Amino acid sequence: MKKQHVQLTPEHREQLKAITDQGMVSGRQYKRALALQELDRGKTYTEVAKTVGVRSVTLSTLATKYKHEGLACLYDKPRPGRPPEISGGAIAKITALACSTPPEGYSQWSLRLLAEKVVQLEYVEAISHTEVGRILKKTNSSHTAIGNGVLAK
């Protein structure tokens, strides 16, 4: 008889079934939910690892976390690191500004001009032209294509 690595409560079985049936969670959470279900059915770490596409060690860690935390093990804990200083709203405003008509006397926005205008409009307290460039580089808009530090339209 195989060793059962995880024994789910009936309530947790229902919740995991709902998670895997709906598919409205991240890929990581889906894999973890599926792995817990498979482990509950008595499958070995090796079998589940092949099915889910993770390593056996990962499954062992997941099983241990489930025993201590319950279904909270499905979700990632906040990671350490410096929080972003510029909000999503400010990023959206910067992108919109870059797509707008440049000020009178300019044929197009430069990164330095954008940085000055963003601070003037109080979207952020301070920002460098290189940070504005990084923000715009992440967008897929053709209006914010950057060439030689100047925005092309």
Closest CA relative to residue 34, chosen from 19, 46, 45: 19
Question: What does the pLDDT look like over 32-70, one tens digit per residue?
Answer: 999 999 999 999 999 999 999 999 999 999 999 999 999
Q: Take residue 146 and report the two structure tokens written for it.
A: 């950057």
Angle between helices 88-99 and 129-137 (to 10 degrees): 90
Question: What does the pLDDT look like over 98-145, one tens digit per residue?
Answer: 999 999 999 999 999 999 999 999 999 999 999 999 999 987 655 544
What is each CA distance from 51 to 33, 35, 37, 48, 73, in whole angstroms? 13, 8, 12, 5, 19
Question: What does the pLDDT look like over 3-31, one tens digit per residue?
Answer: 667 899 999 999 999 999 987 888 999 99
pTM exceeds 0.85: no
